Amino acid sequence: MARNARPPARWNRAEQALWHAYRRGSALDLAASDHRQIRAGTIVQLLSETSPIEPGRAPKLSLSGARISGFLDLSAAHVQAPLRFHRCHFEERLVLDSARFAYLSLGGCQLPEISGLSVQVDQWLGLPDSHVAGEVQLFNARIGGTAEFDGTTIDGALTLGRVVVEGSLHLRRRCEINGKLRLKGARIGGALLAHGLAVHGVINAIGAHVEDGLSLIDVTLDHPGDWGLILTEAQTPKAVLRLNRSSAGAVSLRDAHVGRWDTNIRGWPEACPVDLTGFTYDRLSEQTGGDARPTVEERLAWIQSYGVLDGYPRPTQSPSFTPRPYEQLARALRADGHEQEARRALRSKERLRHRAMGPLGSIWGVIQDVTVGFGYRPGHALAWLAAVLTAATVYFDQVGPLPRTTPSAGPTWDPFLYTLDILIPLLSLGHDTAWNPSGWAKAGTVLLMVTGWVLVTTVIAGVGRALKRQ
Q: How far apart are the C-alpha atoms of 308 and 311, rounded to whole Å? A: 11
Q: How confident is the model at residue 322 (pLDDT cuts 50, 70, 90)?
A: confident
3-state secondary structure of 51: coil
Q: What is the mean pLDDT of residues 346-371?
A: 72
Concatenated DSSP letters for 63-88? EES-EEES-EE-TT-EE-S-EEEES-
Is the CB of residue 262 less than 8 Å from the CB of residue 240? Answer: yes
Q: What is the DSSP letter of 404?
A: B
Task: Write out pLDDT tens, residues 422-444.
Answer: 887 777 777 777 777 778 888 88
Q: What is the mean pLDDT of residues 2-23?
A: 84
- Give the number of other CB atoms < 10 A from CB of residue 3: 5
**pLDDT at position 395 over 60:** yes
Q: How far apart are the C-alpha atoms of 1 and 51, rounded to whole Å? A: 7
Least confident range from 40-49, 197-206, 401-410: namely 401-410
Question: Which phi and psi angles does 284 have, rounded to 5°?
Answer: -115, 140
Q: Which residue has the higher pLDDT, 145 or 410?
A: 145
Q: How confident is the model at residue 257 (pLDDT cuts 50, 70, 90)?
A: very high
- With a CB cutoff of 8 Å and minimum separation 6, the contacts of 1 are 23, 51, 52, 53, 54, 55
Q: Which residue has the higher pLDDT, 389 or 26?
A: 26
Q: What is the mean pLDDT of residues 89-100?
A: 97
* Percent of the chain scoring above 70 in pLDDT: 86
Q: How confident is the model at residue 2 (pLDDT cuts 50, 70, 90)?
A: very low
Tell me how many helices (H) and strands (E) the chain has.
Answer: 9, 36
Q: How far apart are the C-alpha atoms of 57 and 300, rounded to whole Å? A: 64
**pLDDT at position 289 over 60:** no
Task: Write out pLDDT tens, residues 444-455.
Answer: 888 888 877 777
**What are the angstrom distances between the C-alpha of 223 and each of 73, 160, 233?**
34, 19, 21
Is the CB of residue 276 less than 8 Å from the CB of residue 257? Answer: no
Is the CB of residue 174 less than 8 Å from the CB of residue 196? Answer: yes
Taking all residues of the chain, what is their mean pLDDT, rounded to a whole number? 87
Q: Please give, one letter per residue, the 3-state secondary structure of 271-333.
A: ECCEECCCCEEEEECCCECCECCCCHHHHHHHHHHHCCEECCCCCEECCCCCCHHHHHHHHHH
Task: Write out pLDDT tens, residues 167-210.
Answer: 999 999 999 999 999 999 999 999 999 999 999 999 999 999 99
The alpha carbon of residue 26 and the mean position of all alpha carbons in its chain are separated, in whole angstroms, by: 45
pLDDT of residue 168: 97
Q: How far apart are the C-alpha atoms of 302 and 251, rounded to whole Å? A: 14
Q: How confident is the model at residue 399 (pLDDT cuts 50, 70, 90)?
A: confident
pLDDT of residue 356: 66
Q: Which residue has the higher pLDDT, 362 or 218?
A: 218
Task: Write out pLDDT tens, residues 262-282.
Answer: 998 999 999 999 999 999 999
* Percent of the chain scoring above 90 in pLDDT: 58
Q: Where are the alpha helices (DSSP H) in 356-377?
A: 359-372
**What are the angstrom distances between the C-alpha of 362 and each of 150, 170, 236, 303, 369?**
53, 50, 39, 20, 10
pLDDT of residue 52: 58
Q: Which residue has the higher pLDDT, 466 or 243?
A: 243
Q: What is the mean pLDDT of residues 221-241?
A: 95
pLDDT of residue 464: 65
**pLDDT at position 379 over 70:** no
pLDDT of residue 1: 39
**pLDDT at position 392 over 60:** yes
Q: How far apart are the C-alpha atoms of 330 and 376, rounded to whole Å? A: 12
With CA atoms as reference, report the closest residue to 239 among 279, 269, 266.
279
CA gyration radius for the chain?
36
**pLDDT at position 468 over 90:** no
Q: What is the mean pLDDT of residues 149-171?
A: 97
- Give the number of other CB atoms < 10 A from CB of residue 405: 12
The alpha carbon of residue 365 and the mean position of all alpha carbons in its chain are separated, in whole angstroms, by: 32
Q: What is the mean pLDDT of residues 363-388?
A: 69
Q: What is the mean pLDDT of residues 72-98?
A: 96
pLDDT of residue 96: 97
Q: How confident is the model at residue 415 (pLDDT cuts 50, 70, 90)?
A: confident
**pLDDT at position 319 over 90:** no
Q: How far apart are the C-alpha atoms of 374 and 315, rounded to whole Å? A: 32
pLDDT of residue 440: 83
pLDDT of residue 439: 82
pLDDT of residue 279: 94
